[in-house]
Structures are given as C-alpha cells and as structure tokens.
Amino acid sequence: MEVLRVFNNNVILARDAGEVVVLTGRGLGFHAKIGQPVDMGRVVRRFVPTDGRPASQLGALLAEIPPEHVALAAEAVDVARSELGVQLSSAVIVALADHINFAIRRARQGLPAEYPLAVEVAHLYPRDLAVARRIVTLVNERLDVELPLEEAVPITLHLVNAGFATDDMSRTFQMTTVFEQVFTIIEEAFGRRIDADGVNAARFVTHLRYFFVRVHSAQQFDDQRVSFVNAIRDSYREAYACAVKVQAVLQMRLGQEITDDEVAYLTMHIARLTAAPA
C-alpha cells in the first residue's frame, strides 16, 4: 500500500491493490511522502467511499474533523449496529463524526439549533431514536460537552440515511415526511391511532424503507400476477381500499407510478398493522 496524498498528520490517501482509500491514524501522515509505503502500524481506520464521491473529497472532510470525534463516531456506530441489528458502512462514521463536530462547535458557541421532523422521527423510528439518544449521552460524557438530548433527532436521520448508502440527506427528509403522511392516511381510514412502538409498526416502516429504495432504483415489485393481486384485494378489502389511497399519495409525492404488486404488499402490511391492538 502506497501513499498518494497527505492531508495532515492523521489522514492520508493511499492506493491499496488498485483501490484508492482513505486511511486515518495518529501520526500516520507525519513525514509521509507520496509514493512511500504506508506505515501500517499507525493505521487505525480504512475508509472506502460507497456513495460515489471521490476518495480525495472524503479525505479532505476527515482531515477537518478531530481524531477523537472520529473515534467516538466509530464507537457510536458500533452501538447502533449492535442495538439495531443492521449493517452500517464506514461512510456513516464520517457523516456522524462531521455532525458531532459541528454540533459541538455550535453548542460551545451558544448557538441555538432547530430540530425539524422531531415529531415524525419519534413516531416513525423509535428504536433508531433510542440509540441516537444513547449516542448523545455518550458524546456528552466522553467530550465534556452539553449537547441537548434533542440532538438525537438529526443523528437518527443519519442512521436512517445510512441504509441508502448515500450522502443525500434530502432523500431521507422526503422519505420521513412521506411515511408520516402514510400513517395519517391509515389512521384516518381505520379511525384510530397506530401504536408506533409496536412490532407491526416497525415491520411496516421497514417495508416502506425498502419500498423507497426500490422506487429510487426503479426496481419495484412487478410480477404482473393478476391472480395474486386479486386474491389480496378480496381477502383484505378494507386494507386494500386504504392501500389504494396510499398509492395515490405516493405517486403524487414521488412522481412515479406505483405497481399493482406494490399495492398488494402494502395491503398485507396495512392489514397486519391495523389488526394489532390500538
């Protein structure tokens, strides 16, 4: 592995078997020269861009973040992986470290912060929010700062966004507002509140997350099995009528046609969601 660029004493760009990567570690870039072998004994973390950005851009961003913030973000991501049981790429470490760094600067300067979608986040992602609150507590304890507990809201969105392997947070904001509207449609259709902390609600949100990914990657379910769709419609008439309303809103908000197969799967999830105790 050879050095391609030195950003500072702790961050370098390197070539690893033809792949350009970002390496971090205290003193890793000290006296390092382009073309020299990397001092592997000093490497702590290896980052490979997964969201289409150049590795040099990722390295420049990491060079602006204190190493202790990167280390804490990595620890926080390990907590999230364990608690949520999900795979999170190293890209979320960088995004979270950058956010923590900015939040700490803002808090120490006494600057107020707004937390958009706080109600929606609490409703849609209760487990992610609980983990994010643990992360805020961890940051405050380790770095002797006083981030407000509400800082867990944007951290939750970072965890949710990590599922898309992209740094486009606007997509996550859009997804969250759409999901909240979907829940409102279901609650109005069935005349009662949905238990957001319930297992069925968690399954439904997971289904919606993957649905959102399928829409944006043009890979909706579309087997054109008319008998399957008709069977679902006949078995869950009330849920199907609600799913058709959801379909209309999704098409308007996302600007794409939603297939009959997707409506059938929505129907099954709505039926299960509304069969649970209120």
User: Are both 178 and 265 inside the same structural domain?
Assistant: yes
Query: In which element (H, E) is residue 248 found?
Result: helix 237-254
Please write the tens of the pLDDT for every residue from 206-252. Answer: 788 878 878 877 778 777 677 888 888 999 999 999 999 999 999 99
pLDDT-based confidence at residue 167 (cuts at 50, 70, 90): low
Q: Of the candidates 43, 61, 79, which is a domain's last residue?
A: 61
Here the CATH number for the domain that contains residue 200 is 1.10.1790.10
User: Are both 189 and 271 inside the same structural domain?
Assistant: yes
Per-residue tokens: 13: 């760009």
Per-residue tokens: 119: 């109600």
d(CA 195, CA 274): 9
User: Are both 98 and 182 inside the same structural domain?
Assistant: no
First CA to last CA across the chain, in angstroms?
A: 58
User: Are both 55 and 89 inside the same structural domain?
Assistant: no
Query: In which element (H, E) is residue 3 found?
Result: strand 2-6
pLDDT value of residue 51: 60
The more confidently predicted of residues 5 and 173 is 5
d(CA 36, CA 91): 26
CB-count burial class (<10 Å; 0-12, 13-18, 19+) for 108: exposed
Beta-bridged to residue 215, according to DSSP, are none
User: Are both 76 and 154 inside the same structural domain?
Assistant: yes
Cβ–Cβ < 8 Å for 89, 50: yes
d(CA 139, CA 35): 37
**pLDDT (average), residues 197-209:** 81
Here the CATH number for the domain that contains residue 45 is 2.30.24.10
Cβ–Cβ < 8 Å for 7, 62: yes
pLDDT value of residue 278: 45
User: Are both 130 and 110 inside the same structural domain?
Assistant: yes
Q: Of the candidates 164, 196, 219, which is a domain's last residue?
A: 164
Express the helix, strand and coil content of the chain in percent, nearest 5 each. Answer: 60, 10, 30
Domains in the chain: how many in total? 3
pLDDT-based confidence at residue 34 (cuts at 50, 70, 90): very high
Per-residue tokens: 56: 């040099």
Cβ–Cβ < 8 Å for 76, 96: yes
The more confidently predicted of residues 169 and 132 is 132
Cβ–Cβ < 8 Å for 160, 126: no
User: Are both 173 and 256 inside the same structural domain?
Assistant: yes
User: Are both 55 and 75 inside the same structural domain?
Assistant: no
**102, HSE (Cβ side, Cα atoms, 13 Å):** 13
Mean pLDDT over the full length of the chain: 87
| Domain with 186 in it | 169-275
pLDDT value of residue 28: 94
User: Are both 184 and 249 inside the same structural domain?
Assistant: yes
User: Are both 30 and 71 inside the same structural domain?
Assistant: no
CA distances from 194 to 39, 113, 160, 272 (A): 55, 30, 21, 11
User: Are both 180 and 145 inside the same structural domain?
Assistant: no
User: Are both 179 and 270 inside the same structural domain?
Assistant: yes
- The owner of tokens 């829940």 is 183
CA distances from 24 to 10, 27, 140 (A): 5, 9, 24
Q: Of the candidates 36, 61, 86, which is a domain's last residue?
A: 61
The more confidently predicted of residues 117 and 276 is 117
